[in-house]
C-alpha cells in the first residue's frame, strides 16, 4: 500500500513524524533531497517539504525506519494531542460519534507503523479511520447545505421586503418571472433539504457502523485479553508441572543412587562379616587340630563298628573322673543333661524338694559360668513352677502329666545330632543304659556333685 492510499490522518502523522525525524537525525544519514528540507524552519518542514518527505518515505527504507521511530515517540499517553495526531479542519463541527480521540490516535499510530514497517495494515483500524473521514466530510457538507439554505431564505426574505416597500406592482411578465424564480428557489431549497436529510441518514448509518466497529474492537480486545490470560495461566501451570516432575525425577534418581550405594555397602559389610566368620572358623579348626594333636592313619569308624559287632557290642563305660567331666564340658558345643531329683536325692536328700531344686540350679549356674556348655536339668512334676535362674541361662524342664523325667531325658538325647558331645548325669541304671546306647556319655550323680562342689 502506498502513502497516497492511506487516510488523511495517517498521511499527516507520517509527514509530521518525518519532519521531526529529519531534525533529530544526523545530516549525513539523510537522503540528499531530505537534507535540504532539514534546514527549513520547524513549522515549514511539514508544510513546504511534504512532497519531498513523502517521496523519501516511499523510496528510502532507512529513512522510513527513522520515521517509524519518530511515530512511536509521538504516540504516547497524549498521542491525540501530539504534533502528528489527526485533527479536523478549523471549520469542522463537533464530532457526531462517541469515539474518543485517544482511540483514533491509536488507530492512526497502528496504521502508520504497519505502513512504515512494510507489514499488513490492520484493516479494522483502517476502516475506522475511513469512517471518521467520511463522517467529517458529511459534517462539512451538511454545514455547507445549511449555509446555502440560510442564504437562500435570507435572499427570498430580502427580495420580498424590497418589493413590498417599494410598492412596485410587477407586470404579468415580471410577476411570472418572480413566480418562476420563487418556484425555482423553493424547488432548490426542497432539493437541498432532501439532500440534507439524505446526508443525515448516511451520517447516522456511518455513526452506527462506527459504533458497531468500536464495539467489535472492544469485544476482540476483551477476547484476546482473556485468551492471553488463559494461555499465560496454562503456561505457568505447565511450567510448574514440569518443574515438579524434574524435582521428582531428581529425588528418585538421588534415592536410587543412595539406595544402590547403601545396598553395596550392606553387601560389602555382610561379605566382610562372612569372611571374618570363615577366618575365625578356619583358625578354630586349626587350633583344635593343634590342641588335640590329631593324627591321621587311625582306625576307620566302619572298621571299628565291624570289630565291635564281631566282639559283641558293649556300651561305653561311665565317666569316672572329675577331670574327664571337665574335659568333656570344655569341648565346643557340649550339652549336659541332668536328672534333677536323682542328683539332689543323692547329694542332699534332707532338704525339701524346693530347696533341693534351688541348690542344684545355683550349682549348675556356677558351672555354666565356668564353661561354655549347654545345661538342661529335668525334674518330675508337671504342676511345679520355678523362676528361671539368675545369671547364665540354665534350661529347667518339668515332665508333663503322666510322663516321667526319665522319658524326657531319653527324648532330649534322641533329638541331638550324632557326633555332638552329650553328657547325661544320672545314677538310674535303666536311663544310663538307654542313653549310652544312643551315644551319650554317662556321668554318675556323685561325680557331678564333686564337680560342682569340689570341697564338699
Q: Name the residue ranges covered by the structural domains of the chain.
A: 3-166+184-210, 319-452
- pLDDT tens per residue, range 155-167: 877 776 776 555 5
Q: What is the pLDDT of residue 190?
A: 81
Residues in the chain where the model's pLDDT stays below 70: 76-105, 160, 163-178, 182, 293-298, 301, 304-316, 382-392, 455-456
CATH entry, 319-452, from 1.10.3810, 3.40.50, 1.10.3470, 2.60.40 = 3.40.50
In this prediction, residue 100 carries a pLDDT of: 47
pLDDT confidence of residue 91: 36
pLDDT at 120: 84
Contact partners, residue 283, CB within 8 Å, separation at least 6? none
* pLDDT tens for each residue of 157-199: 777 677 655 554 555 565 566 677 767 777 877 887 788 788 7
Amino acid at each position: 500500500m502506498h502513502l497516497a492510499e492511506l487516510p488523511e490522518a495517517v498521511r499527516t502523522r507520517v509527514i509530521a513524524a518525518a519532519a521531526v525525524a529529519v531534525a533529530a537525525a544526523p545530516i549525513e544519514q539523510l537522503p540528499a533531497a531530505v537534507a535540504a528540507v532539514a534546514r527549513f524552519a520547524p513549522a515549514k518542514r511539514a508544510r513546504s517539504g511534504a512532497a519531498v518527505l513523502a517521496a523519501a518515505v516511499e523510496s528510502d527504507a532507512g529513512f522510513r525506519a527513522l520515521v517509524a521511530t519518530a511515530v512511536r515517540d509521538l504516540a504516547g499517553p497524549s498521542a491525540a494531542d501530539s504534533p502528528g495526531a489527526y485533527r479536523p479542519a478549523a471549520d469542522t463541527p463537533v464530532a457526531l460519534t462517541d469515539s474518543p480521540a485517544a482511540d483514533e490516535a491509536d488507530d492512526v499510530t497502528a496504521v502508520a507503523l504497519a505502513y512504515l514497517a512494510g507489514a499488513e495494515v490492520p484493516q479494522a483500524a483502517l476502516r475506522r479511520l475511513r469512517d471518521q473521514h467520511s463522517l467529517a466530510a458529511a459534517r462539512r457538507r451538511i454545514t455547507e447545505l445549511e449555509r446555502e439554505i440560510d442564504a437562500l431564505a435570507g435572499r427570498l426574505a430580502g427580495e420580498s421586503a424590497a418589493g413590498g416597500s417599494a410598492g412596485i406592482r410587477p407586470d404579468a411578465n415580471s410577476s411570472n418571472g418572480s413566480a418562476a424564480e420563487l418556484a425555482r428557489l423553493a424547488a432548490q431549497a426542497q432539493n437541498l433539504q432532501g439532500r440534507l436529510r439524505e446526508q443525515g441518514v448516511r451520517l447516522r448509518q456511518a455513526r452506527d457502523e462506527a459504533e458497531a466497529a468500536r464495539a467489535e474492537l472492544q469485544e476482540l480486545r476483551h477476547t484476546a485479553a482473556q485468551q492471553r490470560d488463559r494461555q499465560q495461566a496454562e503456561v505457568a501451570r505447565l511450567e510448574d508441572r514440569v518443574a515438579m516432575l524434574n524435582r521428582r525425577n531428581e529425588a528418585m534418581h538421588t534415592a536410587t543412587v543412595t539406595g544402590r550405594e547403601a545396598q553395596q555397602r550392606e553387601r560389602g559389610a555382610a561379605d566382610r562379616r562372612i569372611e571374618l566368620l570363615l577366618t575365625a572358623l578356619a583358625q578354630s579348626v586349626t587350633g583344635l587340630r593343634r590342641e588335640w594333636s590329631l593324627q591321621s592313619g587311625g582306625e576307620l569308624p566302619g572298621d571299628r563298628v565291624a570289630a565291635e559287632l564281631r566282639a559283641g557290642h558293649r556300651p561305653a563305660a561311665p565317666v569316672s573322673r572329675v577331670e574327664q567331666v571337665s574335659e568333656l564340658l570344655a569341648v565346643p558345643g557340649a550339652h549336659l543333661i541332668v536328672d534333677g531329683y536323682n542328683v539332689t536325692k543323692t547329694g542332699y536328700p534332707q532338704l525339701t524338694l524346693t530347696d533341693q531344686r534351688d541348690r542344684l540350679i545355683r550349682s549348675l549356674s556356677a558351672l555354666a559360668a565356668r564353661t561354655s556348655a549347654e545345661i538342661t536339668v529335668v525334674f518330675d512334676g508337671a504342676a511345679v513352677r520355678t523362676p528361671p535362674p539368675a545369671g547364665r541361662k540354665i534350661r529347667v524342664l518339668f515332665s508333663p502329666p503322666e510322663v516321667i523325667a526319665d522319658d524326657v531325658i531319653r527324648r532330649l538325647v534322641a533329638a541331638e545330632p550324632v557326633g555332638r558331645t552329650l553328657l547325661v548325669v544320672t545314677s538310674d541304671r535303666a536311663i544310663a543304659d538307654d542313653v549310652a546306647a544312643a551315644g551319650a556319655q554317662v556321668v554318675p550323680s556323685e561325680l557331678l556333685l564333686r564337680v560342682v562342689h569340689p570341697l564338699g
